[in-house]
Amino acid sequence: MGFPKHIYRKANSILADRRQKAEDLGEQQKQEIYAAIPELRQIEQQLAETGRGVIAAVAARSGDVRQIVESLKQRSLALQERRRSLLEEAGVPEDYLQPPYTCQKCHDQGYVNNYRCSCMEKLLRQLATQELGGAGLENFSFHNFSLEYYSEVPNENGTIPRSYMANLKNYCQDYARCFDPKKSGSLLFVGGTGLGKTHLSLAIAREVIDKGYGVIYASVQNLMARLEEERFNSGYGSTDEEAELRYLSMVMETDLLILDDLGTEYLNQFISSTIYNLVNTRLLRNKATIISTNLLPGEIGKRYSDRLVSRLFGSYKTVNFIGKDIRIQKGLMG
């Protein structure tokens, strides 16, 4: 499971800040309580000396090591009890001398025994979700995907839109639930505007993020505009170009890439080649991608190169959306 590198950097920065603040506050509290109860400072010093004594006794391997260690252990327990008693008399919690870390399991390090702590996992998911916040991710889920706007009357092909879309929703939910970035395959969402393509794309994104995978969501138009601007507005060897290359690499490597509104972008040679490169490279790397478009298959064939069309209809699973524009229906109902 993996998130984009900048998400890890941001999470590590947040944890480092938490850790530093906790240790600064812990030191401040410690000095305050030492000033109020000087004996506590002496106890802490004696506990440290006791700990060093245990290490020295074991290392020296002379005399009755077990007896020496047991004696030091009893002294340590007596000092700890005295410390607890002094703190209790002062009405101070027993952990007051320790830094108030946000996570007591990893002390805001993010890792426990070289494994990511649950607090780190939670933070990574939060940051990834925030990155998709512009799409209002919290408003899109399978639970609130309403079928009431899809007719129960069969269409000209004899298909009942509501039943069809209920099955499609279940398919997308299963895709998200069983998501594996190298096994789930890529999807091409095809259908007119307002049929739920964006909603189900983001519902999938939400669940995939909750599973601990990295997701990038963007409209094709915005993604291409960013890549084109960063590519041509920065000189070779510049930090801007390096940032662009890192971003393109991030888009290529993310566990799930969701590209919305294929067909709304202004096409030129750079954008055409970049879209093909994205699609082709991720297919070669077995990286899952979801692309949505309002274009009909014939319109896709006229707009894009044969190479791209071949990849989309030959290697992606086409998922057709049917019904009437939900946005218009909501407007009429309002």
**Which one of 6-10, 86-90, 133-137, 165-169 scores highest in mean pLDDT?**
165-169
- Lowest mean pLDDT segment, chosen from 29-33, 165-169, 227-231, 248-252: 227-231
pLDDT in tens, 73-110: 888 889 888 888 888 888 888 888 889 999 999 999 99
Q: What is the pLDDT of residues 211-223, one digit of tens each?
A: 888 888 888 998 8
Encode 15-49: b = buried (16+ Cβ within 10 Å), e = exposed: beebbeebbeebeebbeebeeebeebeebeebeee
Give the position of tokens 């480092």: 16
CATH classification code of 132-333: 3.40.50.300
Supply the mean pLDDT for the chain. 85
> Would you give the DSSP letter of residue 295?
S
What Rg do the C-alpha atoms of the chain give, in angstroms?
Answer: 29
Output phi, psi for 264, to 5 deg.
-90, -10
> Is 0.75 topped by the overall pTM?
no
Where along the chain do its domains lie? 5-115, 132-333
